[in-house]
Amino acid sequence: MKKTLFFLSVTLLLICVCCTDSGPNDKNSYSVIPAPASLVEMNGKFVFTAKTKIILPELTEETKLAADYLASLVKNPTGWSLPVVKSKKPSAGSVFMSLDTAMTNKEGYTLNVTPGKIIVKAQSAVGLFYAVQTIRQLLPVEIENAKIVEGLTLSVPACEIKDEPRFVYRGMHLDVCRHFFPVSYVKRYIDILALHKMNTFHWHLTDDQGWRIEIKKYPKLAEVGGFRKETLVGHLGGKPETFDGQHYGGFYTQEEIKDVVAYAKSKFVTIIPEIEMPGHALAALAAYPELSCTGGKFEVYTKWGVVPDVYCAGKDETFNFLEDVLSEVIVLFPGQYIHVGGDECPKIRWEKCPLCQKRIKVEGLKDEKELQSYFISRIEKFLISKGKKLIGWDEILEGGLASEATVMSWRGTAGGIEAAKQKHDVIMTPANFVYLDYYQCEPEGQPLAIGGYLPLEAVYSYDPMPTELTQDEQKHILGIQGNVWTEYIPTTEQADYMAYPRMFAIAETAWTSANKKDFEDFLARFNIAKLRYDAIGLNYFKGEYYDTRAAKK
């Protein structure tokens, strides 16, 4: 009898501890990527029920986005439609999300989770949204899918989080020219950016191998420039050169672009469109050969690399055309930046073109490098007149930077350092640390990639802030971006495989302060987060994450 009583009381005690949600939580339940500035683990947990309310004192279109997003996550596995209500009082059992203008960082937030309620504070709606992304990572993975899970307990472990980003620019790029990716994939890519508190999507929309955006005034750009007759098989430079014989292409209509831009806005992601010039323009020239130096004839490129034919810098028609194109682009993309490429522009046609040479003479330019600078500066004047800012790859330094241009440093960091010294804004995107088309482990047995060796650990190790800059110059380093070039990435599955988890390392570098970064800790959190990535259906790389070559040195 005594024994039975003893067991009964132990069982009751255990039931009590579990049911009151007051005990310590499993360490693993606090896994957040990117790591918050400060996270204090506490006892107990908040449990969502069908009666939970999401309360906002300031209910605006923007703050509602954050609240609705949380409601949609809860609805996925439960079917509950939590009410989003306007009130100044955080009632018991609710999620209370308020704005606090005294907070200094526009994107920062605080998150207090207790068994009684969740309190979120942020200076602006985006901070509330990032708090929701943190709550998302603290909730069970079942919230990721719209599939009812009977008996699921939706709980968030108690904690106190104070968080804000290190950099204002946290970006990822996707090349949809070398291979074309559908709207659904682009939207999911944006989702994954938002989940990791990244705020910019750089959409590489035009290149030699395909023009991917409908331009109403020049329909042939998409109709002709959007398609190539076939594609190189294997690696560039492989012999014999063979092609797949498959007509390939696609483009986004302006309606689709508007839809993606609106989607990104709802996830607090800004899209920077890239319209390449003066080089990487063969698809446009295939459609409108009169814009070249020679007059053509051209085909949309079927191989990779750099081609000699570029826009003619001597013809005013080129600038009229580009201004018309950009006028349509500007209407579609409300963000402040337009990216105009500027990289890898061979000068061989300009050297022989009478019109380009005349332009050099008339404008008093020294050489073709200065002609490129003239080209970019002329376009920049147009963009500024439309209230936009120009971004270009670091080649736009050659021949002199356009007056207010922002530079993306991709050929290492020297271009970025030079631009910052010239007091220009810079985004660090050096190939040797953040080009996610590089191999991520020893190439043997891997799908064909462009080359390189860039394991997760090496990506994680990169710090975008150059120590050789003064404090004032450092202010021009806006942040970091990872790039996914797709010459050797033909499918969405492979894009996932190359992008993830290396993108998460870039997100942590972009958000988390340098002194809080720790690769072992990141790996431990990633190991827990894998369940979430599985639930989302990401085809992330599952091989060697350590830099084994560095370890051997």
Residues acting as catalytic residues: 207, 280, 344
Characterize 538-548 residue by residue with b for buried, 16 or more Cβ atoms within 10 angstroms of its Cβ, and e for exposed.
bbbbeeebebe
CA gap 205, 175 in Å, rounded = 7
Count of CB atoms situated within 10 Å of the CB of 20: 11
CA gap 221, 224 in Å, rounded = 6
> Of the ranges 125-133, 347-355, 431-439, 524-532, which one interacts with Zn ion (CB under 5 A)?
347-355
Q: How far is the CB of 322 from ligand ACM (least distance, A)?
A: 19
* 164 vs 487 by CB, closer to ligand ACM: 487
Q: How far is the CB of 75 from Zn ion (least distance, A)?
A: 58
Which does residue 353 bind out of ligand ACM, Zn ion, none, counting CB within 5 to 8 angstroms by kind?
A: Zn ion
Q: How far is the CB of 276 from Zn ion (least distance, A)?
A: 17
Which does residue 259 bind out of Zn ion, ligand ACM, none, counting CB within 5 to 8 angstroms by kind?
A: none
Q: How far is the CB of 315 from Zn ion (least distance, A)?
A: 7
- Site for ligand ACM, residues 62 to 121, rule: CB under 6 A: none
Applying CB under 5 A, among 183, 355, 524, 531 the residue interacting with Zn ion is: 355
Q: Is the peptide bond before 490 cis (omega within 30 degrees of 0)?
A: no
* 343 vs 518 by CB, closer to ligand ACM: 343
Q: Which residues contact 385 (CB under 8 A, 6 or more apart)?
A: none
Scanning the structure block, which residue is given the tokens 């590489």?
Answer: 204
Which does residue 344 bind out of ligand ACM, Zn ion, none, counting CB within 5 to 8 angstroms by kind?
A: ligand ACM
Mark out the alpha helices in 176-226 (DSSP H runs). Answer: 183-195, 220-223
CA gap 25, 147 in Å, rounded = 26
- Site for ligand ACM, residues 297 to 326, rule: CB under 6 A: none
Specify the pairing of strand 477-482 against strand 210-211.
unpaired
* 132 vs 312 by CB, closer to Zn ion: 312
DSSP character at residue 434: H
Q: How far is the CB of 293 from Zn ion (least distance, A)?
A: 3
Which does residue 293 bind out of Zn ion, ligand ACM, none, counting CB within 5 to 8 angstroms by kind?
A: Zn ion
* 339 vs 388 by CB, closer to ligand ACM: 339
**What's the per-residue H, E or C state across 473-507?**
HHCCEEEEEEECCCCCCCCHHHHHHHHCCHHHHHH
* 138 vs 407 by CB, closer to ligand ACM: 407
DSSP character at residue 225: T
Which does residue 314 bind out of Zn ion, ligand ACM, none, counting CB within 5 to 8 angstroms by kind?
A: Zn ion
Is residue 328 part of the contact set for ligand ACM (CB under 6 A)? Answer: no
Which does residue 191 bind out of ligand ACM, Zn ion, none, counting CB within 5 to 8 angstroms by kind?
A: none
Applying CB under 6 A, among 58, 328, 344, 370 the residue interacting with ligand ACM is: 344
Binding flags for Zn ion, 127-156, as an x/- string (CB under 5 A): ------------------------------
Q: How far is the CB of 343 from ligand ACM (least distance, A)?
A: 4
CA gap 351, 369 in Å, rounded = 11
Applying CB under 5 A, among 44, 77, 225, 314 the residue interacting with Zn ion is: 314
Contact 33, 137 (CB under 8 A): yes
Which does residue 489 bind out of ligand ACM, Zn ion, none, counting CB within 5 to 8 angstroms by kind?
A: none
Q: Which residues contact 212 (CB under 8 A, 6 or more apart)?
A: 176, 177, 180, 205, 206, 222, 226, 250, 251, 252
Is residue 312 part of the contact set for Zn ion (CB under 5 A)? Answer: yes
Total interface residues for ligand ACM by CB under 6 A: 4
Is residue 343 part of the contact set for ligand ACM (CB under 6 A)? Answer: yes
Per-position DSSP letters for 127-165, written without gaps between them: HHHHHHHHHHHHS-GGGGSS---TT---EEEEEEEEE--
Which residues pair with residue 407 across a beta bridge?
A: 392, 426
Is residue 393 part of the contact set for ligand ACM (CB under 6 A)? Answer: yes
Q: How far is the CB of 460 from ligand ACM (least distance, A)?
A: 21
Contact 532, 134 (CB under 8 A): no
CA gap 36, 103 in Å, rounded = 16
* 288 vs 533 by CB, closer to Zn ion: 288
Cα angle value 401/389/336 (rounded, 5°): 155
Q: How far is the CB of 317 from Zn ion (least distance, A)?
A: 11
Is residue 48 part of the contact set for ligand ACM (CB under 6 A)? Answer: no
Q: How far is the CB of 177 from ligand ACM (least distance, A)?
A: 12
Is residue 410 part of the contact set for ligand ACM (CB under 6 A)? Answer: yes
Q: What 3-state DSSP class applies to 447? A: coil
Which residues pair with residue 122 across a beta bridge?
A: 99, 109
Which does residue 356 bind out of ligand ACM, Zn ion, none, counting CB within 5 to 8 angstroms by kind?
A: Zn ion
Interface residues with ligand ACM (CB under 6 A)?
A: 343-344, 393, 410
Interface residues with Zn ion (CB under 5 A)?
A: 293, 312, 314, 353, 355-356
